[in-house]
Amino acid sequence: MRALIALALMTLPAPALAQSRVEPRAAVGDQHRWAMEQLRARADANEALARQQRLEARLTVLELQAARQAAPIVKVPDWRPLRSPEEERAARESATVRRQETVRSVTQIDAWLDRRPQ
């Protein structure tokens, strides 16, 4: 019987021998060593897969960026349209009113913050 098992093991390719389980009667240390080798091999395979997927994802992003069409450049004119003198005067007066309202409201807030504690 042992001769058949030995003959069968000799005919198996090397990877099958490496993945064969340790006999149940083997020493506990051998069983732990085998389990650790299996865990390391699985971790190495997972790491290689993760590395490959990172590279593929990076390649996909680069391909998408290369395929993206650039947005057309819209040139903004360096000049602004001229207004009539009446429009300029109205704009200045409304800006003055806005500034005065801002100063008035800020002055009220400052006065409230500077009040004496009671």
Provide the 8-state DSSP code for 115: S
**17, pLDDT greater than 50:** no
**80, pLDDT greater than 50:** yes
User: Mean pLDDT over all residues of the chain?
Assistant: 81
Cα separation of 72 and 76, whole Å?
12
Q: What is the pTM (predicted TM-score) of this model?
A: 0.38
